Amino acid sequence: MNIVEPLVSDIKECPITGDLNYINYLNLGKIPLINGFCNTKEESLNCDKYELQVRYFKKSKLSTLSKSINPEILYSNYLYKSGVSQPYKDHCLEMFNDIKNNYFTPSSVLDIGGNDGTLLEVFKSVGVKNLLNVDMSLNLTEECKNKGIPAINKKWGHKTSIEINKKFNLIITTNCFQHTKEINSFVQGISNTIDEKGIWCLEFPYWKNSMETNQFDQVYHEHVYYYVLTPLITLFSKFNLEIFDISYHKIHGGTLRLKISKKGVYKQTNNCQEFIKQDKLINEKYYLNWSKDIKKHISQSSSFLKELKLSGAKIAGFGAAAKGGIYLNSAKIDHTLIDYVIDDTDLKQGKFIPGTGIEIVSREKLKTNPVDYILILAHNFSNHIINSLKDQYEGKFIILIPKIIII
């Protein structure tokens, strides 16, 4: 008998400790599934919306959504492609050199949630031959295969690791671990698949940094968890794994790279110890105060754009990333304020951002419908976006995070 996971389920128990003691803090209200792009303006304005709220489990210090959405709904046909981002490609090459220069030259690489195979394509270009991408999105694994990179369309977990039945000396998870609800199975699968001296290179948006820089737009339904280090140390220990090195990277608005191995294989670095020390300074009061500040910031952002529009300004957006859709919906910014949103992902063009009625277009729209301001929604790539538009656009830019600025 097949047990079908419900569309929406409550997260009332900490997956690490089983604790039931939590507080709710950031509540963004009811928000649409932000990567579920719509085919018409009407569909966008009338799409279903779901509770988007973050809670904090006191014992483990883990932050989670209050409700999770069935991943089959979220990822079966995923339109985000990592290959459209040159900064991400540069980041992948830097990662390869980091592992090669400090530990070993990777000979077998598993990329979990490898999207369209961009990371493995970079690794292949520098000579790595034994590659595998495991991803839940059928359309993206097919695209990966078309590039000549092996890919399996499956949800990663302990069961999948047994089916693959292979060891890798480098396992990579970039910006997808926070998407996975069943984290015990996920980590158990890693422990089962990594070789004795192998490294798991795990990257995720660092929640401490996200809060310090007002990046509430990291909160959306795909992101089930909001990680700081303390709960991860506890989780990894359950499966004989430990963090031995930590580094900070600017990509995705502030990312931590953890290097993880079987216990006792590598000596823990000094910077690892310092990150863990700073991490412990975050407490329950901090979360509650931050949530209040974000509510004020959202209100100010909405008022700012409305006043700009009333002055007669024409405004477009750039970057139909999830974080942009969250910002727009949280601040109730729609097609009456933003004329269109530019995005370089061809799969998104012609569609509409859920909940807003705003169409996603190519850069060509600037020629036929010029604007006075471009609101950079993919703010983590602001410099790259501004530089890429210097020959196509002469107006001003708006950035709303961490504070409202006009360039």
pLDDT tens digits for range 185-223: 999 999 999 999 999 999 999 999 999 999 999 999 999
Please report which residue ranges of 56-114 form alpha helices under DSSP H: 71-75, 86-102
For residues 263 and 308, state if they share a domain. Answer: no
pLDDT tens digit string along 213-253?
A: 999 999 999 999 999 999 999 999 999 999 999 999 988 77
Q: Tell me, yes or no, whether 263 lies in a domain.
A: yes
For residues 190 and 319, state if they share a domain. Answer: no
Q: Tell me, yes or no, whether 76 lies in a domain.
A: no
For residues 98 and 227, state if they share a domain. Answer: yes
For residues 261 and 344, state if they share a domain. Answer: no
**Whole-model pTM over 0.85:** yes
d(CA 309, CA 303): 10
pLDDT value of position 138: 86
219 touches 212 (CB < 8 A): no
The number of distinct structural domains making up the chain is 2
For residues 93 and 209, state if they share a domain. Answer: yes
For residues 259 and 143, state if they share a domain. Answer: yes
Count of other CB atoms within 10 angstroms of residue 256:
23
For residues 272 and 305, state if they share a domain. Answer: no
For residues 127 and 199, state if they share a domain. Answer: yes
Of 103, 135, 136, 102, residue with least CA distance to 117? 135
Q: Tell me, yes or no, whether 64 lies in a domain.
A: no
166 sits in the region (left: phi over 0; alpha: psi -120 to 50; else beta) called beta
Query: Does the structure show a pLDDT above 50 at 154?
Result: yes
pLDDT value of position 372: 98
The dihedral built from the CA positions of residue 144, 348, 319 and 42, taken in this order, carries a sign that is: negative
Q: Tell me, yes or no, whether 7 lies in a domain.
A: no
Residue 168 tokens read as 């890798």
For residues 266 and 375, state if they share a domain. Answer: no
For residues 89 and 132, state if they share a domain. Answer: yes
Q: Tell me, yes or no, whether 310 lies in a domain.
A: yes
Query: Does the structure show a pLDDT above 70 at 4?
Result: no
Structural domain including 110 reads: 82-282
For residues 47-71, one letter each, b for 16 or more C-beta atoms within 10 angstroms of the residue's C-beta and e for the rest, the string is beeeebbbbbbeebbbbbbebbbeb
Greater model confidence, 150 or 281:
150
pLDDT value of position 139: 87
d(CA 378, CA 318): 7
Q: Which amino acid is at 40?
A: T
pLDDT tens digit string along 71-107?
A: 777 766 555 566 657 888 999 999 999 999 999 999 9
d(CA 61, CA 47): 34
Output the average pLDDT for the chain: 93
| Cα 138 from chain centroid (whole Å) | 19
Tokens 């036929």 found at: 368
pLDDT value of position 85: 72
117 sits in the region (left: phi over 0; alpha: psi -120 to 50; else beta) called left
For residues 179 and 207, state if they share a domain. Answer: yes
Q: Tell me, yes or no, whether 153 lies in a domain.
A: yes
Of 266, 78, 319, residue with least CA distance to 176? 78
